[in-house]
């Protein structure tokens, strides 16, 4: 089969770049947080969400630079924990900002998928 025929194969497995996906997620979290009003309730929630939401990608980058399989698994485990924490803060912000529920839900679904991916990686190592 020629290269051209391989490239047009509809059954070709799609490649996913998890580094890019986690970076995009972190940027989406930042954009979302910038859109929220800085109220006395929102301010600490936003701070926590930015920290955990951007940490998912940062820890994934560290995992990719791990020195051993054990170190890699440990860092991926941290990615999963940060993703779970991010789900919590998104839930809190969705409750306090009902006008932004659709965006919160979209971000929550993405981080839930990331959490499942990291859990699967941990189980396979």
Position 102 in a domain: yes
**pLDDT at res. 15:** 53
pTM: 0.84
**pLDDT at res. 45:** 98
- Domain harbouring 59, CATH code: 1.20.1440.60
Position 81 in a domain: yes
Domain that holds residue 76: 38-124
**pLDDT at res. 125:** 84
SS3 per-residue string spanning the chain: CCHHHHHCCCCCCCCCCHHHHHHHHHHHHHHHHHHCCCCCCHHHHHHHHHHHHHHHHHHHHHHHCCCCHHHHHHHHHHHHHHHHHHHHHHHHHHHHCHHHHHHHHHHHHHHHHHHHHHHHHHHHC
Position 114 in a domain: yes
Which residue ranges in the chain fall short of pLDDT 70?
Answer: 1-16
**pLDDT at res. 82:** 98
| Three-state DSSP class for residue 82 | helix
Q: How far apart are CA 55 and CA 74, in angstroms?
A: 14
């Amino acid at each position: 089969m020629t290269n051209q025929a391989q490239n047009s194969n509809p059954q070709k497995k799609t490649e996913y770049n998890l580094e890019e996906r986690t970076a995009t997620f972190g940027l989406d979290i930042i954009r979302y947080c910038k859109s929220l009003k800085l109220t006395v309730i929102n301010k600490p929630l936003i701070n926590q969400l930015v920290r955990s939401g951007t940490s998912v990608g940062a820890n994934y980058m560290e995992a990719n630079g791990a020195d051993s399989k054990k170190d890699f698994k440990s860092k991926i485990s941290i990615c999963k924990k940060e993703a779970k924490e991010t789900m919590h803060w998104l839930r809190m912000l969705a409750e306090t900002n009902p006008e932004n529920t659709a965006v919160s839900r979209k971000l929550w679904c993405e981080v839930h998928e990331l959490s499942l991916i990291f859990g699967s990686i941990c189980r396979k190592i």
